[in-house]
Amino acid sequence: MLTIAVIFVNYGPYHLARFEAFFHQCHLLQWQGVAIELPRSQSEYTWEVNLEKYSFEIIAAIPNFPLEDVSKWETTSKLFNIISRIKPDVIVIAGYAEPAMIGALFWSYLNRKPAVLMSDSKEDDAPRSWKLESAKKFLLKLFKSALVGGKSHKQYLLKLGMISESIFDGYDVVNIEDFHPIRLQTFDRPLEAPFFLSINRFIPKKNLFFLLEAYANYTNIMGSQSWNLVLVGDGELRPQIEQHISILNIKHVVHLPGFLQQEELLPYFAHARCFIHASLQEQWGLVVNEAMASGLPVLVSNRCGCFSDLVIDGINGFGFDPENIQELTHLMLEVSSGSIDLQAMGQASLKHIQKFSPSYFADNLVRAIEYALNHS
């Protein structure tokens, strides 16, 4: 029986849905799937998950402390010891930003066990230096295959030296059934007015001041016919965002319900008219998957990693330049004008996102593992 270790930094709702589908595939293939994470909690993501409903256990390298409270060396050492005890036949590793993940890759090299990379990095995520890119090229030679989000992520790995046949899609998925419009019918309206919805951490790359400026322009044109704007989330920029809303004189039409757990988000997905994601930089943007699974039209920044895979321009939504305020304002006006069949656009979102399910992740991870085994 093959033992496959799948290592994420932390198993939140997205990762649990993916591994559950993979765990089912392992059962069919008579493999043993082992879920490993670095910490049980992270300060950056305050997910609440009920692990009791899953049929697998998660092994945490540091179960009792957030990742930020433990040294990189201690985390790496503990993960290395866990892997040494399990002795997997294949290691599946989420990225190489954390030293502990490089430690796991080093274990695979020492023990001659193939490693599979899970990645949604793309070339324009950040400024690139030749020294760092050279180091990445060296690390990538130690991976036998990769599971990536989509087109832009595959192109980046190709540039770093991986061969096309070793790279598979399907990494960035959510449990689409959790957001299906039939399920959402049971939720009451969180507010009576029609509204645009945006869900983000309140940090610079999410580009929320840009979104507010575009929305303020929109309200100046539409007046009392304006749709409201709901900004779900929280973070370091909240005081400045609240101040900016007041300066723009849109406090009466912008709503800040704060950070919400997944179940608390569902009423907003159920009754929004359109979803907006305006990030300046985004490796993927899983919240766009959720919006599409809810049957919503989407307006998505063309800097988001999901853009080229999820947005079919004019069919299920539109892309925009996240530095062009007039373009986003125009799209808001067009979407709320009544000239677009939003129901048809939402149905197109729902249809297109069906491919991006946890089973898609599981099927392609199996293919990546089989490729790695066959080329070791």
Question: Which domains are seen in the chain, by residue range?
Answer: 3-173+357-374 (3.40.50.2000), 177-353 (3.40.50.2000)
User: Quick one: which H or E segment has residue 283?
Assistant: none
pTM across the whole model = 0.93
Other beta carbons within 10 angstroms of residue 240's beta carbon come to: 12
Higher pLDDT: 47 or 4? It is 4
Helix, strand, coil % over all residues of the chain, rounded to 5: 45, 20, 35
pLDDT in tens, 215-260: 999 999 999 999 999 999 999 999 999 999 999 999 999 999 999 9
Per-residue pLDDT at 89 exceeds 70: yes
Among 37-41, 59-63, 84-88, 120-124, the least confident range? 37-41
